[in-house]
Amino acid sequence: MNKGCILIVEDDKDVGEMLKHYFTYKGYEVLYAVRGNDALALSRRKLPNIVLLDIMLPDMDGYEVCTHLRQNLRTSHIPILFLTQKDERSDRIAGLELGADDYITKPFDMEELGLRVQNALRRASYESLTNPTTALPSGRLIEEQLRTLMHRSGWAILYVRINHLREFNEVYGFVAGADILRFLAMILTSVVDENGPNDDFIGHTSGDDFVIITTAGRASALKEGLKARFDAEVVTFYSFRDREKGYLAMPDVDGKEVHVPLMSLSVGIVTDEGGPFSDIRQITEVAAEARRIAHKALS
């Protein structure tokens, strides 16, 4: 069972290989970087659930990597555990002040490290910080981002839903359904990055619903890019027979065969021009209605 994705940033290759083997054996997906810049690039391409971060790196120190992760809206929520030979009190305080979740000194006990990672992930889940399937921000983190919109101008929200995911789950199973959620999370990240430098926020609200907080000038291009990319690639999750037919054949409540379209995206866009908004509930209600209208247009 995949326990989540862990990014290990460690320039000592012996220690790095030991950590990779241990956490792979424990059921984690492992990303590995020797340099800080490589770690930041990896975190943009594949959002990790947690980061194990050495302080002494060849290009930048771990404090700088931590600062970059905390300043980026997309990675600011990820638990970070410093792993270092430094054991001075001032070093520990410096790391914690930057927002690190824990500070572990070498040499370390591997089982203890594994438990600290497990506990950090559990805390993040309990606090509704991330969705356990996609590792995207959820719950309270999305609410915090929406509240900031009340004091900004020029913003836009894309409210994204996967159509017919429930029927796909019924035919292919919940494991394949979870793969679809991770697939969309990857597409959201990729399309956002392809549209140029940004500080856009991507969240997984619940189930088959996702959100992007961006600027009004980027919203339409993001919508078109998401829909085109999803339509082109989601067919690979279906069997050859279903792809050829272009639909799923399923029985209805009376046992009669019905044809369910292949999955697609409904994307609603709301901007600050649709206001004024007095609270975040109004914003989410308008965004949900925009998405429903987009879905009806597909019917």
The last residue of one of the domains, among 75, 101, 126, is 126
Query: Are residues 150 and 270 located together in one domain of the fold?
Result: yes
Confidence band of 186 (pLDDT split at 50, 70, 90): very high
Residue range(s) defining the domain that contains residue 56: 5-126
Tell me, yes or no, whether 27 lies in a domain: yes
Tell me, yes or no, whether 99 lies in a domain: yes
pLDDT, tens digit, for every residue of 5-36?
999 999 988 999 999 999 999 999 999 999 99
Tell me, yes or no, whether 91 lies in a domain: yes
Query: Are residues 88 and 150 located together in one domain of the fold?
Result: no
Confidence band of 44 (pLDDT split at 50, 70, 90): confident
Tell me what the mean pLDDT of segment 193-219 comes to. Answer: 88
Report the chain's mean pLDDT, rounded to a whole number. 87
Question: Does the structure show a pLDDT above 60 at 110?
Answer: yes
Q: Which two tokens stand for residue 114?
A: 């594994």
Query: Are residues 286 and 155 located together in one domain of the fold?
Result: yes
Interstrand relation of 50-54 and 5-9 (parallel, antiparallel or unpaired): parallel
pLDDT, tens digit, for every residue of 218-250?
999 999 999 999 999 999 999 999 999 999 998
Question: Does the structure show a pLDDT above 90 at 145?
Answer: no
- Window from 66-70, 113-117, 127-131 with minimum mean pLDDT: 127-131
- Window from 81-85, 177-181, 230-234 with minimum mean pLDDT: 81-85
Q: Which two tokens stand for residue 105?
A: 């000194």
For residue 196, give the DSSP letter. Answer: -
Tell me, yes or no, whether 89 lies in a domain: yes
pLDDT, tens digit, for every residue of 284-295?
888 888 888 888
Instruction: Give the model's pLDDT for residue 128.
Output: 59
131 vs 184, higher pLDDT: 184
- Kind plus residue range of the DSSP H or E element containing 52: strand 50-54
Confidence band of 88 (pLDDT split at 50, 70, 90): low
Tell me, yes or no, whether 131 lies in a domain: no
Instruction: Give the model's pLDDT for residue 126.
Output: 61
Query: Are residues 156 and 88 located together in one domain of the fold?
Result: no
Query: Are residues 117 and 149 located together in one domain of the fold?
Result: no
Question: Does the structure show a pLDDT above 80 at 103?
Answer: yes
CATH number of the domain that residue 51 is part of:
3.40.50.2300
Torsion of CA 26, 85, 40, 156, to 10 degrees: 90
Query: Are residues 15 and 73 located together in one domain of the fold?
Result: yes
Tell me, yes or no, whether 156 lies in a domain: yes
The last residue of one of the domains, among 91, 126, 161, is 126
Q: Which two tokens stand for residue 37?
A: 């810049």
Query: Are residues 91 and 203 located together in one domain of the fold?
Result: no
Instruction: Give the model's pLDDT for residue 256.
Output: 87
Dihedrals φ, ψ of 286, to 5°?
A: -65, -40
Query: Are residues 159 and 264 located together in one domain of the fold?
Result: yes
Dihedrals φ, ψ of 51, to 5°?
A: -125, 130
- Window from 29-38, 62-71, 178-187 with minimum mean pLDDT: 62-71
The last residue of one of the domains, among 126, 159, 179, is 126
Query: Are residues 83 and 155 located together in one domain of the fold?
Result: no
**Within 10 A of 271 (CB to CB), how many other CB atoms are there?**
18
Task: Provide the number of structural domains found in the chain.
Answer: 2
Tell me, yes or no, whether 255 lies in a domain: yes
